[in-house]
Amino acid sequence: MQCPACDAAELVFDWATGTTRCPACGYRPDAGDNAEQSGNASPRPPLAFTPPPGLDMDDLPASLGDYDRVRLRGRLQEAMWALARDDRDEIRRKLEAVIEISDEHADTWLQLAALATSADEQRRCLEHVIALRPGHPLAMRLLAELDSALQPEEPLPATAGLAPGQAPTERLVCPQCGGQLTYDEAERLVHCRFCGYRLLDADDLDRTDRHTTILEGNLKRKMQAHRWNLGPRWLRCQSCGAITTLAPTTLTTTCRFCQSQHLIQESVTHAFEQPDVIVPFALNQIEARQAVETYLRSGLRRITRFFADDVARIDLQGSYLPFWIFDADMIVHWSWTRAAAHGQHPVLLSDVLHAAVPTPPAALLRKLEPYDLRRGVDYDPRLLAAHPAQIYATDMTQASLDVRPRLTREALRQAEPGLRVRRPRGTGRNDDPGTLQIRAYTQFMTYRLSLLPVWIGQLVEVDGDTQLVLVNGQTGRVALDKQRRATG
């Protein structure tokens, strides 16, 4: 159709604005007054902003068939190359080519918003972003600025655009191309699956080894307005818009629909305490499965497995579990029943672990010890790119009480051999000093919150019987729970 305003060109459909317009004079049939578009008035300029780098290659609409998904990935790849060359005209052409296949790619609309030539065009692009990713923080800020409801220097509330119960999140993506991040256990590197960009080397991270005293921790808790209470929560995926319910203990999650990764920034009612140290995974899934197979063939296990059914499969998933790490100055009071000698013996305990989650069972988790905490680094959320993490369920105050029996047993275990070697002469027959009596007391305690790597899974036999299996993600040490019979 020829433009009725200038008769110089045919009307075309503009994918960026979603309207039909004349490329020569800007005339739009759906606009009541086209005087402004034909040059009689200057359109309002768009906001200048820099969108996040790259395009999400995994943000593919579920409604697309396999052929169109391949085509869309190809167009996105071409658009990413254009972005790398920073050619605005080529970028616009490649982005519009993406929209021709699917108009449900949020990153494409955000990039088009940055290239918009007017505020109206920019608004339409941003509205597409919000429709696809409700609560998108950058799109919401820009729309608020376009509406003059927010000044450029005014911060957007952290919970803006969130419905009740929705948890604010941060997407863990490559800063270069927007691709999915992963973690290389052998190299201790966080890198991009797509472009290979090396985001983080765990060996380069700091390790401050700061300990907090129990008194300081309790004072910090009393200064808080209310107790930690996560309550019911849910997450709207920033990539595909799917809604996923979150367990109260979830710290990171992967969308079950598009596999994009998210880090929970805070709970709806209260921010959780950040871990002090994280020990990165050293074993990948294949190595963890090999450790289980080796364990089943070793020692008495080889005999007991002879009477069991064959293993059909071993399912393993890596996860960071929270542990409280306690150091304690202990005093052991000792005496003998038939000797006057008595005294005190100091014992220093370091790196005593206490599981901060109810499952897996604490007794089973203790079989995975020890961990080499010297290989731990200061907590960095980017290390959670490949494996999910859990929030602690047992707080510091309760854990400091629960761990005391273990501290007592460990102090007595360390002190008793030396005390028996230095046994005094007694007053009884043959100078027998009698029975050694020892009691341990805690003088001083410090703590840290850590995330430790654990492969968690099931050993499934051919008849359906299962066993919970844990693998230390750093050392490969294996712990196997009791067998559970298949029902039916």
| Beta-carbon-side half-sphere exposure of residue 394 (alpha carbons within 13 Å) | 22
Q: What is the band of 160 on the pLDDT scale with cuts at 50, 70, 90?
A: very low
Q: Is the pLDDT score of 252 beyond 70?
A: no
The average pLDDT across 261-288 equals 73
pLDDT for the residue numbered 36: 42
Two tokens, residue 396: 């510091």
Higher-confidence residue of 203 and 442: namely 442
Other Cβ atoms less than 10 A from the Cβ of 345: the count is 18
pLDDT tens string 306-326: 445 577 788 888 889 999 999
Q: What is the band of 287 on the pLDDT scale with cuts at 50, 70, 90?
A: very high
Two tokens, residue 120: 């109206």
Q: What is the band of 6 on the pLDDT scale with cuts at 50, 70, 90?
A: low
Instruction: Give bridge partners of residue 436 from the DSSP assignment.
Output: 336
Question: What percent of the chain clears pLDDT 70, i.e. is strictly above it?
Answer: 69
pLDDT for the residue numbered 222: 46
| Beta-carbon-side half-sphere exposure of residue 296 (alpha carbons within 13 Å) | 24
pLDDT tens string 172-216: 677 777 677 788 888 888 888 778 888 888 888 777 766 776 656
Q: Is the pLDDT score of 470 beyond 90?
A: yes
Lowest average pLDDT, out of 155-169, 302-316, 376-390, 457-471, goes to: 155-169
Domain coordinates of the chain in residue numbers?
43-146, 169-204+229-272, 285-484
Is-contact 283 375, C-beta < 8 A? no
pLDDT for the residue numbered 83: 83
pLDDT for the residue numbered 387: 83
Closest CA to 125 of 137, 135, 111: 111
pLDDT for the residue numbered 11: 65
Q: Whole-angstrom Cα distance, residue 265 to residue 112?
A: 28
Q: What is the band of 360 on the pLDDT scale with cuts at 50, 70, 90?
A: confident
pLDDT for the residue numbered 230: 37
Q: Is the pLDDT score of 137 beyond 90?
A: no
pLDDT for the residue numbered 169: 55
What are the strands of the beta sheet with 198-201, ordered from one edge?
A: 181-184, 189-192, 198-201
Q: Is the pLDDT score of 257 beyond 50?
A: no
pLDDT tens string 78-109: 888 888 788 888 999 999 999 998 888 888 99
Rg, the chain, Cα only: 31
Higher-confidence residue of 188 and 366: namely 366
pLDDT for the residue numbered 159: 45
The average pLDDT across 396-405 equals 91
Question: In the chain, what is the straight-line distance between the N-terminal and C-terminal CA atoms, in Å?
Answer: 70
Query: pTM higher than 0.95, yes or no?
Result: no
Check if CATH label 1.25.40 holds for domain 43-146.
Answer: yes
Lowest average pLDDT, out of 12-21, 181-190, 333-342, 459-468, goes to: 12-21
Two tokens, residue 470: 């844990």
Question: What DSSP string describes 345-364?
Answer: EEEEEEEEEEE-SSSS-HHH
Q: Is the pLDDT score of 227 beyond 60?
A: no
Three-state DSSP at 155 gives coil
The average pLDDT across 337-366 equals 91
Q: Is the pLDDT score of 51 beyond 90?
A: no
Is the omega angle on the peptide bond into residue 370 within 30 degrees of 0, that is, cis?
A: yes
**β-bridge pairing 377-378 and 277-278:** antiparallel
Work out the angle at residue 442's Cα, subtended by the Cα atoms of residues 441 and 445, and round it to the nearest 5 degrees: 175
Lowest average pLDDT, out of 14-18, 137-141, 175-179, 202-206, goes to: 14-18
Residue 38, classified by CB atoms within 10 Å of its CB into exposed (0-12), middle (13-18) or buried (19+), is: middle
